[in-house]
Amino acid sequence: MKKKDFIYDVAKHEEFFFSLLSEREKRQYAGLESIKLGYNGVDVISKRLGIHKHTVRKGKKELLEQTKPPVNKIRQKGGGRKKNVCHSGIN
């Protein structure tokens, strides 16, 4: 394969890489990319990756604050639906 025959599609590879990440990693990657772009980076990245602007802003904030995530956890404790409990005594 010659060098002139090689075509590198950055968008395709970025989309594939993004699909392999966890929720937190996606958020922080989007935040990093928006920081690199500077002004209007949040809008550009949210459209390019197909995620909400708030998600990009949250990832950007996490990176700027340099908060370390808990080990081996993606979501915070207490998330998700609550158990359906009948309090009236009638099932």
Q: Kindly state whether residue 71 falls inside one of the protein's structural domains.
A: no
Domain containing 42 equals 8-65
**3 band by pLDDT with thresholds 50, 70 and 90:** low
Q: Which residue type is seen at 56?
A: V
Q: Kindly state whether residue 72 falls inside one of the protein's structural domains.
A: no
Q: Kindly state whether residue 80 falls inside one of the protein's structural domains.
A: no
Q: Kindly state whether residue 36 falls inside one of the protein's structural domains.
A: yes
- How many alpha carbons fall within 13 Å on the CB side of residue 27? 16
How many domains in the chain?
1
Backbone CA torsion sign across 53, 56, 62, 68: positive
Separation between Cα atoms, residue 58 and residue 64, nearest integer Å? 10
The predicted-structure confidence for 31-77, as pLDDT tens digits, reads as follows 999 999 889 989 999 998 899 999 999 989 988 888 776 667 666 66
Separation between Cα atoms, residue 36 and residue 30, nearest integer Å? 10
- The CB density around residue 18, as the number of other CB atoms within 10 Å, is 17
Residue 90 is predicted with a pLDDT of: 64
Residue 43 is predicted with a pLDDT of: 93
For the entire predicted model, the pTM comes to 0.67
Q: Kindly state whether residue 70 falls inside one of the protein's structural domains.
A: no
Residue 57 is predicted with a pLDDT of: 92
Q: Kindly state whether residue 81 falls inside one of the protein's structural domains.
A: no
Q: Kindly state whether residue 74 falls inside one of the protein's structural domains.
A: no
